[in-house]
Structure 1
């Protein structure tokens, strides 16, 4: 006869409740300054989708966060993080964003950190390829979605009520959110004109408990150290070099990496993604129009939440690779319409904008078809310096 023991189950239950009820303040005390410093370059979705590590970084008065998407993952000697280390700037940077991070993702993040953004200088990089005809879809939204941020939005009673309402209605359009029936019930209760008090109290109480679990999970994740990134730093190309010398260094760096095409695309990307289907890619973007996209509504949410928080953003408008987009059939006049629309939105918001659209054909400003790098980073580095020094 087999003997069954409940010991493993009992141990599992004890461990579960130990982790569940372990005091948050003890967990926070284990997150060291070194751990916070490591998180600045990890580009780890666990950090993006959490709260604690970002809040610690934002509380540093000498921190200048940079929000963007996949370009932040492209480390080279001129990358902003490497630049600040080599130039020994009075501020430090940390990166928030990865591929698929677009306006609605950043909105949720800013909403989560509103209390830490008041008076805070930040850099926000705008990528043209966000503004597609369909806008953000579930395929790109889901991997970057933070359940913790979404639950906290429901409990955010300091945000402008109209902004909160628009944001919740927008989030309810995503299947990822729709699958969370408790969150949907919370949002619908918050949005309802005729509220049912008993239903609402039960729903929000359950949501509060779930949010507490998500906060606990975030603290445990904050203790996890990712493997070090390959930063590809080379301080000699930065330190004790003038802006003009750094530009020359970036051009020399780029010339070694673009040798086999006239599209201003690095050899590795060209060989892997363009050369095998070069002829088929001719004019394949002829019907693209980045000046017309649902993404603009999400982008306005970003602007509105930054105003609500009292942040001090500097927006960076990334250019398209002129030679590549000419070949792909997206004409210059249509690209200019996109740039002008971005300029108008930022001007109307009364925020500063650095517009790099004049660098479309500047060799080594864009490293492939879409990502800023090398010479582009040098320009951004020095604009970042000026913005930090400005009152």
Structure 2
């Protein structure tokens, strides 16, 4: 009997501690989200609080802020970044940017699916890059694992608004992309079991349910700890000072001046640092490098379609922005203007068939200073995109 007590007591004490810690974090986080200045988190595209969490994102969406999902273009530092226009008291709503290198459609779907389904009229922008579709297999396991969030993964599969069909598609893709992961073995098994309906898998689900419930609790607690530490160092909220309305013509002129300072004397007319690091004197050695690429047959379209289907499930009507690629560079490397435009047509039409607004930027593929390199929006490009989004969301 005494031996049983010695075994049980640590579990009881541990359980009480975790329960108390969870309640403490809930209370403190709820208070700080209301009282702290959250702009530093909103402006940080690389913040794990947004990137791999659900708590702060749901808070922002309840405040009717605009969620902008993209990839590495949101990580690049430029004065014309969306946060400069939306988070400086010059718009009705603020913007939350999430995006770093190797984020693609399936990661966007995970983030969207982790949102609180009770929050209505969510404002969402999806920045879609052609480069995601250059790999025939779509997102690689390494890149998916790098961007993976267990918290968002479980929140997605527990979201009552997402159809069972789409949950199974998501779980099936996740199980394959996580198959060789050392860090996310539990989620790989969970995803594989979720997408299977055999007698054996159903038996395993029953037997492993206590473990996975505990796993969900722990990853949720870990997110709360991360969020708590981040909020703790923020300054208290101050009353906003309304700024003057944006003069977009003037912003474009300043963007061109900023670009000229960074662009060197190179034939692509892009940032000299990028050109020197990636090409140097070897640009023309890249001729035909991507001639094997077939943008229209990439598995990325499967994930892109799934992402938009999930938006329909959730009642989200995103604005889809198709980011252009540099005409001269991709023509030289083997992805012709014709093929790129077929890609824009296909991606745009899929979004329109879902009833979503599309901002197609293909006409800017040859425009000077629109891109900062061969694929990322530059100073002039960001001014144009932000002005379009201001009008779309009626911000002035």
Counterpart pick for 1:191 among 192, 195, 198: 195
**How much has 1:57 moved relative to structure 2?**
1.5
How do 1:287-326 residues align onto structure 2 when only pairs under 5 Å count?
A: 287-326=292-331
Contact 2:113-2:156 within 8 A present in 1 as well: yes
Structure 1 unaligned runs (5+)?
A: 1-12, 229-237
Structure 1 residues 270 and 178, CA gap change in structure 2 (3 angstroms): closer
Contact 1:87-1:240 within 8 A present in 2 as well: no
**How much has 1:371 moved relative to structure 2?**
0.5
Q: How far, CA to CA, are the matches of 2:336 and 2:141 in structure 1? A: 29
Matched, 1:338 2:328: no
Structure 1 residues 59 and 120, CA gap change in structure 2 (3 angstroms): same
How do 1:54-73 residues align onto structure 2 when only pairs under 5 Å count?
A: 54-61=57-64, 63-73=65-75
Q: Equivalent residue for 2:137?
A: 134
How do 1:339-378 residues align onto structure 2 when only pairs under 5 Å count?
A: 339-378=344-383
How do 1:273-292 residues align onto structure 2 when only pairs under 5 Å count?
A: 273-292=278-297
Q: How far, CA to CA, are the matches of 1:87 and 1:187 in structure 2? A: 43
Q: Equivalent residue for 2:176?
A: 173
Please report the RMSD computed on the Cα atoms of aligned residues, expressed in angstroms. Answer: 2.8
Q: Equivalent residue for 1:231?
A: none
Listed one character per residue, the Cα deviations across residues 105-131 of structure 1 (whole Å, up to 9, x for unaligned) are 111111111515532111110011000
Matched, 1:249 2:254: yes
**How much has 1:328 moved relative to structure 2?**
2.5
Q: How far, CA to CA, are the matches of 2:222 and 2:380 in structure 1? A: 40
Between stretches 326-335 and 207-216, larger displacement belongs to 326-335
Structure 1 residues 193 and 170, CA gap change in structure 2 (3 angstroms): same
**How much has 1:373 moved relative to structure 2?**
2.3
Structure 1 residues 239 and 214, CA gap change in structure 2 (3 angstroms): same
Q: How far, CA to CA, are the matches of 1:151 and 1:66 in structure 2? A: 22
Q: How far, CA to CA, are the matches of 1:35 and 1:243 in structure 2? A: 27
Contact 2:268-2:328 within 8 A present in 1 as well: yes
Q: How far, CA to CA, are the matches of 2:265 and 2:384 in structure 1? A: 25
How do 1:11-50 residues align onto structure 2 when only pairs under 5 Å count?
A: 20-31=18-29, 32-33=32-33, 34=36, 36-42=38-44, 43-50=46-53
Q: Equivalent residue for 2:3?
A: none
Listed one character per residue, the Cα deviations across residues 355-385 of structure 1 (whole Å, up to 9, x for unaligned) are 1000000111110111012111111111111
Counterpart pick for 1:147 among 140, 150, 156: 150
Listed one character per residue, the Cα deviations across residues 183-228 of structure 1 (whole Å, up to 9, x for unaligned) are 4444444434455766433322221111001110000000233999
Contact 2:317-2:355 within 8 A present in 1 as well: no
Listed one character per residue, the Cα deviations across residues 240-282 of structure 1 (whole Å, up to 9, x for unaligned) are 5532222222112112211211213111101111115323223
Q: How far, CA to CA, are the matches of 1:201 and 1:145 in structure 2? A: 25
Counterpart pick for 1:83 among 82, 85, 89: 85
Q: How far, CA to CA, are the matches of 1:241 and 1:188 in structure 2? A: 50
Between stretches 198-207 and 157-166, larger displacement belongs to 198-207
Structure 1 residues 115 and 150, CA gap change in structure 2 (3 angstroms): same
Q: How far, CA to CA, are the matches of 1:187 and 1:333 in structure 2? A: 39
Contact 1:118-1:309 within 8 A present in 2 as well: no
Tell me how many residue pairs correspond in the alignment: 369
Q: How far, CA to CA, are the matches of 1:266 and 1:350 in structure 2? A: 37
Counterpart pick for 2:120 among 118, 121, 125: 118
Structure 1 residues 184 and 134, CA gap change in structure 2 (3 angstroms): closer
**How much has 1:306 moved relative to structure 2?**
0.8
Q: Equivalent residue for 1:96?
A: 98
TM-score (norm 2): 0.85
Structure 1 residues 188 and 256, CA gap change in structure 2 (3 angstroms): closer
Between stretches 377-386 and 192-201, larger displacement belongs to 192-201
Q: How far, CA to CA, are the matches of 1:340 and 1:199 in structure 2? A: 45
TM-score (norm 1): 0.86
Structure 2 unaligned runs (5+)?
A: 1-10, 235-242
Q: Equivalent residue for 1:234?
A: none
